[in-house]
Amino acid sequence: MTNGHTGDILKYDWFGLSVVVFSANLPPFDKKEFMKEMPTKTTGEEILSVVREELLDLKSYQDQHWEGTFEDYLALVKKYPRVARTSFQRVYDMILSKGTSEYFEHKKKIIHYRFFEDLDHNTRDALFGLDLPLMKMVNIFKSAAHKYGTEKRVLLLHGPVGSAKSTIARILKRGLEDYSRTPEGALYTFSWILEKEDGRRLPEGTMEEIPCPMHEEPLHLIPLEWRSRILEILNRDKPVEQCVEMEGELCPACRQYFRELNRQHGGDWTKILKNIKVRRLILSEKDRVGIGTFQPKDEKNQDSTELTGDINYRKIAEYGSDSDPRAFNFDGEFNISKRGLVEFIEVLKLDVAFLYDLLGASQEHKIKPKKFSQTDIDEVILGHTNEPEYRKLQNNEFMEALRDRTVKIDIPYITKLSEEVRIYEKDYNPKRIRGKHIAPHTIEMAAMWAVLTRLEEAKRADLTILQKLKLYNGKTLPGFTEDNVKELRKEALREGMDGISPRYIQDKISNALVSDKGEGCINPFMVLNELESGLKHHSLVTNEDLKKRYRELLAVVKQEYEDITKNEVQRAISADEEAISRVCGNYIDNIKAYTQKETVRNKYTGQDEEPDERLMRSIEEKIDIPDNRKDDFRREIMNYIGALAVEGKKFNYRTNERLHKALELKLFEDQKDSIKLTSLVSSVVDKDTQEKIEVVKARLVKDYGYCDMCATDILNYIASIFARGDTKS
């Protein structure tokens, strides 16, 4: 194969055929340079040394591959009853093992489970803004762990596309894998140690180890009629919450071996145990141990044996019957998921025959393999589906039994702006995005539009949908209390179940990042334009009225962005602390004289003059203080200053948010004309004005996260607003 590199095109000759592929600006391959830079032996030795000294953990390996006798295991259970937990108990303990925190939102206590932050995997699948649905799900696990009934149910994650249903399942499965490797999450199974069987072509007297195909709990080896007496010994002097329980029986294969050994040893159970090796069990989805995943296929390829196992036809001749458990593969998803969790992807798309298997698996914890009696299973059955499929289930009167055995857990879209922003910041941040700068508020505006599409219009006429978003995000608005916000949540029954998926937002941000526009910096308008143009071909938004509403919401977001940027530029212009202090001192002198009915001495003329009403009103009007309320506001400021003086504190305008805002707006009004922002839209800018603009740009870069390019762009944008006469702040 030869490589002729030409720009972005690689040409290959492959058996006489000319193959052309596009490259990502790969440099031409130089064999001599490659051989020259081959790693030395020293580097390899150094890496192996690091592996031996820092990475190898032989102690953990030995612990995770512990083997012992059944007697050893009984002693272990007596000391650590946790090893004999059910699957639901293990999942619940796993979630709690990472810790919790509590907070109140709209007077409701929310428990945050750190397990779902996915810190062990560098927050790769971290979940944001779903604390309430996750709390409801964990409560179901808690109930099942206490055997209050929900352990006999199929857990169904239900919600719109892209609401993190699959991610929740993935975190739980990966968490179980990790937890089973820890001392706290240890669980055990057993193998049979038997002499070779006829036809196996093994040397005479050779012993072979046959693992239990369904990873049984070793305590299942204890006959049912003896269990109460043995449990009495194991649970002696233990509190109720630490008592061991035994449920379930051996799988068909293990029953066969048990019967044969029982006959061989004349019913002496203690001799049977000599053929048992107990070993540590490490759960692994890839190795199909304790964790299974089932995905629906087309009707012609679906086969229920994928769930419960199938006959091994090669071994029928060896054992003489297709009902011999040794001629059966207990490798269906239900079989291999025992002791752990099985995930059903889009569970309601399954054929009806598969759904029937779920009935016994959930309620009775039993499955029916072909040609065998019902077999015990102990596993969490977790499915997820979208709303159309769930409605189809509700309308199917023949599936009442499944509906009755299902616990639905709603996983809605996020309706809190700050949490939605975290989703995109995880993927689009300076560490991951190289060579491009994302202008401030770009991700925030995209997230704002996504959340607005998921909200329902408030029934109150005095509340806009944007104000509702801000209330949900923790902002306060005059006339609205936490009780009002709670009522808003209650009245919006489908909020978060409709709207735009985070995937769509991610796709459009990606489009903006790789586009040729922006010259190294993408801004909110680029992303918002991508979002708007994508609506034409959005596969899930086909209703024209809905498209029209989404476009109107984009206009709302653009107006909000305009207000935000006006405020930032205004603050950057009026960030002169000395100038604000002078304006503040002048204002305080005047309102002091006004409230005490005194005069003010003019520093320049030395004359006593009446308080400057025009100055005071020019500041108060900036924060909408009406003329009939000016006296109250002025007295409020003076009382505040007096209270500070009593405490021995000095007044600072920053401590009064309303006054601070008014002073900044006043200074902005005074300075914007001297800076002449409107001159930016013209081709001629004088040197003095340019210097002032550079100062403002420097403040935008330093204080608000702009780069030089997007700071220039935002000043041009605000200048164009002033040029058209729109000076509203």
Sorted by where each begins, the domain ranges of the chain are 1-38, 417-541, 574-675
Closest CA to 534 of 506, 562, 513: 506
Enter the tokens of residue 230: 């043995």
**Class of residue 486 by CB neighbours under 10 A (exposed 0-12, middle 13-18, buried 19+):** middle
Task: Report the pLDDT value the prediction gives residue 163, as an integer from 0 to 100.
Answer: 93
**Sequence letter at residue 283:** L
Helix (H) / strand (E) containing 315:
helix 313-319
Q: Output the DSSP codes for 684-717.
A: ---HHHHHHHHHHHHHHHHHH---HHHHHHHHHH
How far out from the chain centre does Cα 630 lie? 49
Query: Strand, helix or coil at 518?
Result: coil
pLDDT at res. 662: 81
pLDDT at 145: 95
Number of H helices, E strands in the chain: 29, 22
Q: What is the pLDDT of residue 712?
A: 86
Which amino acid, one-letter code, is at 697? Answer: K
Segment-wise mean pLDDT, segments of 10 residues, the chain, 729 residues? 44 46 55 59 79 84 93 94 95 96 89 95 93 96 95 94 94 97 96 73 69 95 94 91 91 94 94 95 96 82 82 87 90 94 90 81 91 93 91 84 91 95 91 86 96 93 92 86 89 92 94 81 93 90 91 96 88 74 85 87 77 86 86 87 83 76 77 56 62 83 89 84 58
Exposure string for 519-531, b = 16+ CB within 10 A, e = fewer = eebbbbbbbbbbb
Give CA–CA dist 335/326, Å, rounded. Answer: 15
CB 447 within 8 A of CB 499: no
pLDDT score at 204:
58
Say if residues 179 and 173 touch (Cβ distance below 8 Å): no
Residue 586, pLDDT score: 86
Which residues touch 19 (CB under 8 Å, ≥6 apart)? 11, 12, 13
Q: For the whole model, what pTM was predicted?
A: 0.82
Taking CA atoms, 260 is separated from 98, 269, 376, 380, in Å, by 45, 12, 21, 32
